[in-house]
Amino acid sequence: MRTAAVWSPLFVAALGTFLYFTTGQFFDFGQGWFLVGVLGTVTFLLGFQSVGALRDLTRGTSEVSGQVTRRWARRDSLVIKSHYVRIDRGQIIRLDGIFHADVEQGDHVKIVFYPSSMMAVTVEMLEPPEESPEPAKT
Domain ranges within the chain, ordered by starting residue: 2-59, 62-126
pTM of the full predicted structure?
Answer: 0.67
Please tell me the distance from the alpha carbon of residue 127 to that of residue 138, in angstroms, as a whole number.
33
3-state SS assignment for residue 73: strand
Please tell me the distance from the alpha carbon of residue 120 to that of residue 62, in angstroms, as a whole number.
10
Q: Could you read off the pLDDT of 113-123 as tens digits, one per residue?
A: 988 888 898 89
Please tell me the distance from the alpha carbon of residue 97 to that of residue 103, in angstroms, as a whole number.
10
Please tell me the distance from the alpha carbon of residue 87 to that of residue 14, in angstroms, as a whole number.
38
Which CATH fold would you assign to the domain 62-126?
OB fold (Dihydrolipoamide Acetyltransferase, E2P) (2.40.50)
At what angle are helices 33-59 and 2-26 packed, to 10 degrees? 150
Of the chain, the percentage scoring pLDDT greater than 70 comes to 93
